[in-house]
Structure 1
């Protein structure tokens, strides 16, 4: 029996991936690395440290300790937070879902960013929040989703995950969870390892509303 729905944040709850990617592009440019938005979309869901390591490795650049310490802060300063908004219809849908299910967020973003988003748009919506700052091993490792299960005090069969990124889907599947993907940023074939792929947020809202007991 379904008792909880676990959501990724960026690209699922809020239309933020363009701004997240642009902030990373500016940040990496400062250390001589040129990247595209697609590079970030494919790494979305991983925590800052893993993302930075991946980009440096791909660029063939030597990673230093200060990069891991300072680049996340520079990225947060570059992020145009005021332009980030929830996807249309998502807040009303969450309010309906909350009457029947526990709701959780599992995000690879820094705790400050996630907290700001939740406080601004989703106050009192979520029972559990796991961020990229909470665990050493983030997505695609299963740890963030296993942590959410522990905090929800539920079994894998009682929860589903809503994701939009390849690494997040992999993390959910490794945790043994049923994963629904919305192809909000990448081509559907990039997220086809999910159990169910929805083409856009209109289809996601329709799917979520179908879960509400009649």
Structure 2
């Protein structure tokens, strides 16, 4: 029996990925690495440490300790936070879902960024919140979703995950969870390893509504 729904944040709850990606593009440019927004979209869900390591690896370089310490802060400074908004309809959807299920949030973003988003828009919705700052191993490792299960005190068969990024889907599947993906930023074929792929948020809301009616 379904008892909880676990949501990713960026690209699922809030339309933030263009701004998150642009902040990373500017940050890496400062250290001589040129990337595109698409590079970040494909790594979405990684915690900061893993994302930096992967971008440096792709550029044929190795990050120094100061990169891992200072680049996340530079990225947060570059992020145009006030331009981040929830997807239209998502707050009403969560309001309805909360009457029927426990709700959890699992993000690879830094604790500061996640808390700002939650405090601004979602302060009363989530029973459990896991951020990229909470665990050493982030997505695509299963640890964030396993931690959410532990805090929810539920089994994998009692929860589903809503994701939008390849690494997040992989993390959910490795944790043994049923994963629904919404193609908010990437083409559907890049997230086809999810159990169910939905083409947009309208389709996602229709699916979530169907869970209540079962």
CA distance in 2, matches of 1:180, 1:52: 27
Q: RMSD across aligned C-alpha pairs, in angstroms?
A: 0.6
Structure 1 residue ranges without an equivalent (≥5): none
Match of 2:204 in 1: 204
Deviations 1:29-56 (A, max 9, x none): 0000000000000000000000000000
Match of 1:67 in 2: 67
Where in structure 2 are the equivalents of 1:174-213 lying within 5 Å? 174-213=174-213
CA distance in 2, matches of 1:212, 1:72: 39
Match of 2:132 in 1: 132
1:213 Cα offset (Å): 3.6
Question: Contact between 2:53 and 2:62, CA under 8 Å: does it hold in 1?
Answer: no
Aligned length: 214
CA distance in 2, matches of 1:80, 1:119: 17
Specify the SS of the correspondent of 1:105.
Answer: strand
CA distance in 2, matches of 1:55, 1:62: 9
1:62 Cα offset (Å): 2.6
Q: State TM-score, norm by structure 1.
A: 0.99
The answer to whether residue 160 in structure 2 is matched with residue 164 in structure 1 is no
Deviations 1:87-116 (A, max 9, x none): 010000000000000000000000000000
Specify the SS of the correspondent of 1:211.
Answer: helix
Deviations 1:124-143 (A, max 9, x none): 10000000000000000000
Match of 1:49 in 2: 49
CA distance in 1, matches of 2:111, 2:148: 15
1:63 Cα offset (Å): 1.1
Structure 2 residue ranges without an equivalent (≥5): none
Q: Which runs of 4+ in 1 moved over 6 A?
A: none
Match of 2:80 in 1: 80
The answer to whether residue 116 in structure 2 is matched with residue 113 in structure 1 is no
1:73 Cα offset (Å): 0.2
CA distance in 2, matches of 1:166, 1:35: 18
Match of 1:36 in 2: 36
